Every structure is written in C-alpha cells, then in structure tokens.
Structure 1
Amino acid sequence: MAKSKRKPKKASVSANRVAELAGVSRSAVSRTFTDGASVSAETRAKVLAAAERLGYHVNHLARGLIHHRSGIICLIVAEMQTPYQAAFVDMATRRLQAIGKVVMVLNATGQPANVEAALRQTLNYRADATVVVSGSPPASLIETCIENGQRVILINRDDAAAGPHVVMVDNDTAAREAMLMLRRAGCVRLAVISSTAGTPSIIARERAFAAAAQEQGLEVQIVRAGPTGYAAGADGARQVLALSSRPEGVFCTTDLLALGFMDAARQEFCLRVPEDLCVIGFDDIPEAGWLGYNLTTFRQPIEEIVSQIAQILETEDEEDTGPRCLPVQVVWRRTVRP
C-alpha cells in the first residue's frame, strides 16, 4: 500500500522576511504595525504590500507578553445553556472583542471544583484578567491570581478577599420590593422558590425577601427543589401547592424557576395566574415576555454589567476595587394582581 505523502507544515511568516521583501529594516516593520509609532507613508506602503504578499500576521500574543500583557480575558461560566448566561456571554464577548481583547470562555459546569480548576487554567495562559460569572473560587486562589499580575472580576458575588473587582446588582432591594408587590396584591401566605445552587446572589434574594416579610409579621416558606432551572421550579410547585395552606404569592429567585412553577401550577393544579396565585421572577430572560407567561420580573442590567467590566479593564487604577452595585428594574407584566 502506497504511503500518503503529507505536505510539510509551513512555518509562519516572520517579520524579518517582510523586511527583506520590502527592503526596509526589521524595526520599520514593527513600527508599521504599532499604533501611534512614527513611520513614513512610503515605508508603510512598502511594508503593507510585502505583508499582504507573504500573508504575514502580527503575533499579538508574543508582542503582548514582552510588555507583560497577553490581551486575553477569560470568562468562567457555568450552565451556559440557560437563557441568562447565554445572553451574558454573547454580550460580554462582543463588547470585549470590540475593545481589542481576546476572550477565552471556560466552561465550569458541574462540580464546584470546576471553577477552581478553570481559574488555575487562566494562570497558564497568562490572562490579563478573569471574569468569574459562575461559582465562588477560594479567596487564596484569587489572591494567587492577583499576585501573578492578573485582575479578577467577580460578578454578582460580594467577596471578602482583598483585591478582586466586584460588579453586582442590588439583589436586596429587588427582593424586598418583590415582597411588597405581593403584599400590595393582597397576598398573605408567601413562598420563595429557589434552588440548591447556593450562589451568593440567590441566597441574597432569599434572605432579603424573608427579612422583608418578617418585618411585616409574615412567615415565608423557602423551597429549594434542585438545580437552578425549569424542572426545579415545577418540582417546587408540586411541593408547596399540594399543601392545604398553599401560598398566595410566590417569589422565584430566577425566571427559569418561575416558568417551571407557573406551568405546573396551571397544568397540574388548575390554578389561574394571577387570579389564584401571584408569581414574580428575576432576570427578565426573553421567555419571561412570551405571551404564555407574561411574567412580572426584575431585569438584570446585562449591558451595564458588561460596560462596568470593560471600564475596569480599560483603566489602570488597581486601587478601585470597591463593589459596583447596579440597580435592577422591575418589569410589570400580568402575573401579579394590580
């Protein structure tokens, strides 16, 4: 059998070859591809023509590492298939690429240790910064990243460790407002449908809602039926709506939980929303506005969160690490009685 002949791999075109073809110095090639560097129009034209002919591309990674900057920004995200996370990754990658960053998305779905492993991986790639969207990495590991010259930006989690930047939304105010909205609708028996994820943002919503209800002299049943998602919301409905004293008002800590809860309430318990039961969600995912749900919810300002991330990356002020807390907006639809 005849052996197939493989073509030898071509080496990448070097700046020296471009300089030789253009008849200029190696430094002239470097200046041509450096923003703001001084180079004559004639030299620039020669270099660009030679680069085009040879198929030359600047090695930005090597150039960046010389200046201790790789231009790489890592996003650590879990459950990217969920509508909120998908929307966040989409907007964040587009915005960061627009300001000249190379975005590396690391999937941390699964065990909590996956977040720690992903953060360690960012050190191997000498990332300029890591944005932790999901999970809570150990404070010691965050400190290690910072000591290695990497910025760490935590999303929706207030961290006690010194050094990381924090961008979060005002979960407390939103959850308290959710309780008051249900109370104004005449709801006395209240419940929170949450998940077993135990993320700082979800826990903050649970606690703030319960604290606001306690101030009104009301008790709240908190149900964590499973991982954050549609199925857990439906299971939560089965747990609380089968009781003789079922709740009149329900706050779901995410919209996906709320959608599952509402479908089970309507299909399995024949309840009407909002006539028999008022429901409020959190996130304002696209599905929340579908006619079949019309869910009253709180909108996470994804665009503003991403803008804050870009602002942190574009500034050199390492001391500005205080939490940036953004307000959330209530979106009134038809799952709460007027």
Structure 2
Amino acid sequence: MAKAKLRPKKSSVSASKVAEVAGVSRSAVSRTFTDGASVSPETRAKVLAAAEKLGYHVNHLARGLIHHRSGIVCLIVAEMQTPFQASFVEAATRSLQDKGKVVMVLNTAGKPANVEAALRQTLNYRAEATVVVSGAPPRSLVETCIENGQRVILINRNDAIEGPQFVMIENEAAATEACFILRRAGCTRLAVVSSTAGTPSIVARETAFVDAAQAAGIEVLVNRAGPTGYASGAESARQLLAGANRPDGVFCVTDLLALGFLDAARIEFRLRIPEDLCVMGFDDIAAAGWLGYDLTTFRQPIAEIADHIAGMLEDEDGGPAQMHFPARVVWRRTVRP
C-alpha cells in the first residue's frame, strides 16, 4: 500500500479557532498562554485541550513585537571553524536559549553583499540585540546595527564607536604574565608567534608581550607566518628555529598557533619540550589538554562570559558599559617549573 504524503497546512491555527473549539472567549485564550495572567483552572484546561487537538502554537514573535521585544539575538561570528570560536558559539547559544532567547548566527565568512543582506534580515525580524564575537566582522556591520537602534555587545573588540557595550578579556595582563613566566623559567631569548589576522585581541597580546620583554631589557622576535591556524604555527617554528640564535621561550597568541609550533619543533627540529624550548599558548582549547601537547596556556572563561551576556540581555537597565574578565594561566608541561 502506498504511503500517504503529508501535506503542509495552508495556514496556522488561530487563537480565535481555539476559542471557538474550547467554548471560551478570545481573551481567555490569550490569558491562558500569558505568564501570570488570571484564568480559572477550568478555562485553562479547556483551552489547553483545544490547543492540543488543533495543534495551536503561540506566535511569540508577533506577541513580542507588540511589546518591542522579539526575543531574537543575533550572533555575528568570524572564523567559526576555529575551536575557540566554535566553543564560544556553543556556550553562548546554550546560555541565551536557557533565558528563552532565539539565536540567529551570522557567519561573516561569506561574500560581503550576502553578509549585509543576512544582517538586514535580523533587523527586519527586529532582533533585540546583536553580539559581535571577537574576530574580524567588519566595523560597518556594527555601525549598521547601531544606526538601526539595535543594542550591540562587542566581545574582545576595542572599536572606537559610541553606543555598544563591551565585554573584554584582559589580554594585556595575560601577555605580560606570559613574559614573566618564561623569564622565570630561565628563558633569555624570547619570541612571540602571532598572525596576520590583526584582530584586536591578537594585536593586544602581541604588543603587551613585546612591551613587557623590552621593559626587562630583552629584545623579542615577532613572527607572523600567516593566518591564525595550525599551519601558520608550524611555519613560524621553521622560520624561528632554523637560525643559530633560536629562541628558548615562545609565546603563541593562540593555542592553534602553539600546537603547530610544538609539532614542528619536536618532529622537524628534534627539540625537547620544555628542556630545550618553553612554549605557551592562549585560549585553552580542548586540544591544549591532550597528552600529545599538554600545553601551558591561558584560559578564557567562555561559560562565564556567555552567562554574563545572557544576563545583560535580561537586565532592563542594560548592565555595565564595559565588563572585563581575566584570563587565568593553566599550568601543564610545556614550560619548565
């Protein structure tokens, strides 16, 4: 016997239809599905039974727009394929959904015209807020949101724009501590492995490390072999370790760079870690803790940041204009005790 094909209904069930089937007023249906509204247990039971029978669902978008709150939050993300960004998106979407928000993720890796069109969609749907995750989403997207009266939260960005709120990692403090840790481990020839991405957080870490070393009278080799990734870290190792005066202490501005650097140092140059070379990273991605790497790094408190953002969007007063989170060192085995 041929299976019957399921056809979508031409229209959704209305609240008026639920009221008709339940034998109650239209306002009674509205009160039943409004938190805190007054409705008798008998009426509520009738309405819920009718809604279940008809397959009725409340149009939260329409209801929210009446009160100027759609419940939609847009996440603008660059480099979603990197472990840190993926972890942040996972944590942020979970925290926001726990608060009853609907999350729309906008990937800026596409063509600029397509990204702009997608952002316009979030504005058309009256997203309550846009969260711009650290990376390289263009400033023009941020300005578009602000110009349309949208609330904007910037993560790990220092854009000189009036209007948004800022959630920052203390990158400079962590990079300064990295320099101190490597010096305390006995390293005298320091290098920083950065990238060509030039994002605010990467630039802040690189600059702070160089400044701290120079303040201690140590010149630093700075290497940017390519974009922020494993292959660039490995290439940086080839460039820095091939010379006679190679460094004995290296700070990588992300863990992905550090993992590539470590593999090249061990496999291609036969260096012992940390006896011959100390290496530090930043982010504490999952792979940093794998036995093959055991990387000493700095942990960004992803879950705390995500919960803070979700709380900010529930706060009618808006929360602080700026919030700073420390990056804590995670001790493993790539730095001498």
Q: TM-score, normalised by structure 1?
A: 0.93
Amino acid at match of 2:279: V
The aligned counterpart of 2:86 is 86
Q: Distance in 2 between matches of 1:20 and 1:309?
A: 42
Task: Using the TM superposition, give the Cα deviation of residue 33 of structure 1 relative to its aligned residue in structure 2, in angstroms.
Answer: 0.4
Which secondary structure state, in structure 2, belongs to the residue aligned with residue 24 of structure 1? coil
User: Could you tell me how far 1:113 is from its partner in structure 2?
Assistant: 7.7
**Distance in structure 2 (CA, Å) of the matches to 1:243 and 1:113:** 45
Judged with a 3 Å threshold, the aligned counterparts in structure 2 of structure 1 residues 204 and 8 are, in CA distance, closer, same or farther, namely: closer
AA of the residue aligned to 2:93: T
Could you say if the C-alpha distance between residues 313 and 109 of structure 1 is closer, same or farther in structure 2, counting changes exceeding 3 Å? Answer: same
1:337 aligns with: 336
Provide closer, same or farther for how the CA distance between residues 193 and 112 of structure 1 changes in structure 2, counting only shifts above 3 A.
farther
2:25 maps to what in 1?
A: 25
User: What residue ranges of structure 1 are gaps of 5+ in the alignment?
Assistant: none
Deviation of 1:6 (Å): 9.3
* Deviation, structure 1 residue 88: 1.0
Q: How does 1:259-274 map to 2 (within 5 A)?
A: 259-274=259-274
Q: What residue in structure 2 maps to residue 323 of structure 1? A: 322
The answer to which of 147-156 and 84-93 deviates more is 147-156
**3-state SS of the aligned residue for 1:162?**
coil
Distance 1:303 1:274, change over 3 A: same
Alpha-carbon offset, residue 256 of structure 1: 0.6
Aligned to 2:200: 200
**Are residues 1:237 and 2:237 paired?**
yes
After TM superposition, the structure 1 stretch with the greater mean CA deviation from structure 2, 293-302 or 160-169, is 160-169
Give RMSD over aligned pairs: 2.0
Alignment of 1:1-338 (within 5 A): 7=7, 9-109=9-109, 119-136=119-136, 141-318=141-318, 320-338=319-337
In structure 2, how many angstroms separate the alpha carbons of the residues matched to 1:209 and 1:146? Answer: 34
Q: CA deviation at 1:214?
A: 0.7
Deviation at 1:107, TM superposition (A): 1.3
> In the aligned structure 1, how far is the partner of 2:96 from the partner of 2:122?
17
Q: 1:56 to 1:324 in 2, by over 3 A?
A: same
Question: Could you tell me the percent identity over the aligned residues?
Answer: 75
Once the two structures are TM-superposed, the CA of residue 148 in structure 1 deviates from its matched residue by 2.9
Residue 97 of structure 1 aligns with an amino acid whose one-letter code is: Q
Deviations 1:209-249 (A, max 9, x none): 00000100111111111111111110111111111111110
Alpha-carbon distance between aligned partners in 2 of 1:110 and 1:221, rounded to the nearest angstrom: 34
For 1:235 and 1:222, the matched residues in 2 are separated by 13
CA contact 2:76–2:137 (8 Å) conserved in 1: no
> Unaligned regions of 5+ residues in structure 2, if any?
none
Q: Are the structure 2 counterparts of residues 41 and 262 from structure 1 closer, same or farther at C-alpha, using a change threshold of 3 Å? A: same
Query: In the TM superposition, what is the alpha-carbon distance from 1:136 to its structure 2 partner?
Result: 4.9
Q: Is the alpha carbon distance of 1:118 and 1:263 closer, same or farther for their aligned partners in structure 2, counting shifts above 3 Å?
A: farther
2:268 aligned counterpart, secondary structure: helix
Question: Deviations for 1:252-273, whole angstroms, at most 9, x for unmatched residues?
Answer: 0000100000000111111111
2:235 match: secondary structure: helix
Letter in 1 for 2:216: Q
Offset at residue 137 of structure 1 (A): 5.1
CA apart distance, 1:251? 0.3
Partners of 1:129 and 1:337 in 2: CA distance: 45
* Cα distance change, pair 112–100 in 1 and its aligned pair in 2 (3 A): same
CA contact under 8 A between 1:192 and 1:220: conserved in structure 2?
Answer: yes
Q: Indicate the SS of the match to 1:269.
A: coil
User: How many Å separate the matches in 2 of 1:88 and 1:314?
Assistant: 19
Cα deviation, 1:6-56, whole Å, max 9, x if unaligned, reads 957431111110000001111110110011111111111110000000010
For residues 58 and 117 of structure 1, what CA distance do their matches in structure 2 show?
28
CA contact (8 A) 1:255 1:283 kept: yes
